[in-house]
Amino acid sequence: MGITALGAAAIASSQASPMAWLLTWITEAVLAIAIAGWTTYSKARAAGSSLFSGPGRRFVYSFAPPLLVGVLLTALQLRTGVVGAIPGEWLLLYGTGVVTGGAFSIRVVPLMGLCFMVLGAVALFCPWSWGNIFLAAGFGALHIIFGAVIARKYGG
């Protein structure tokens, strides 16, 4: 997911309008959800467990509400034409979902969520033009860094 986010950042940086920029990142979000779903399903299947039993179900119940709030706030901001806070909000809400969902996972997962939240909080108070850099740093770099740590220390 981190690699596709870096690709989205490169594409988004060349977009001529905020709407085209946002559509690039929304497309990336859909792609990332598909990648996460497929890899999670594959891992659960290999372990012989159900994706929505026990910890998996608790993770989804904890992770989904902040993402739903992000979708609703994005729709509202598109309707009102005030899109400057979207990068910070996405990072904050995704981080919140990772922290709450990660409570049922290994210890490094909530730490990753906190890093997303810090990055999102900083992004809220920076110029809109820096939003792409913040999204690349969060959804790109943080996913790659923490993915490597999780793969190395915990086997994926």
What's residue 66's pLDDT? 95
- pLDDT of 82-108, one tens digit each? 889 999 999 999 999 999 988 878 889
pLDDT above 80: residue 44: no
Domain interval for residue 64: 2-154
Burial class, 79, CB count within 10 angstroms (exposed 0-12 / middle 13-18 / buried 19+): exposed
Contact between residue 4 and residue 139 where contact means Cβ atoms under 8 Å apart: no
pLDDT above 80: residue 50: no
The DSSP secondary structure of 87-142, one letter per residue, reads HHHHHHHHHHHHHHHHTTS-THHHHHHHHHHHHHHHHHTS-GGGHHHHHIIIIIII
Of 59, 5, 15, 12, which Cα lies nearest the Cα of 35? 5
Find the mean pLDDT for residues 126-133.
94
The SS3 of residue 85 is coil
What's residue 81's pLDDT? 87
Integer Cα distance of 120 and 122 in angstroms: 5
The pTM assigned to this predicted structure is: 0.91
Find the mean pLDDT for residues 40-56.
76
Tally the domains of the chain: 1
Contact between residue 85 and residue 58 where contact means Cβ atoms under 8 Å apart: no
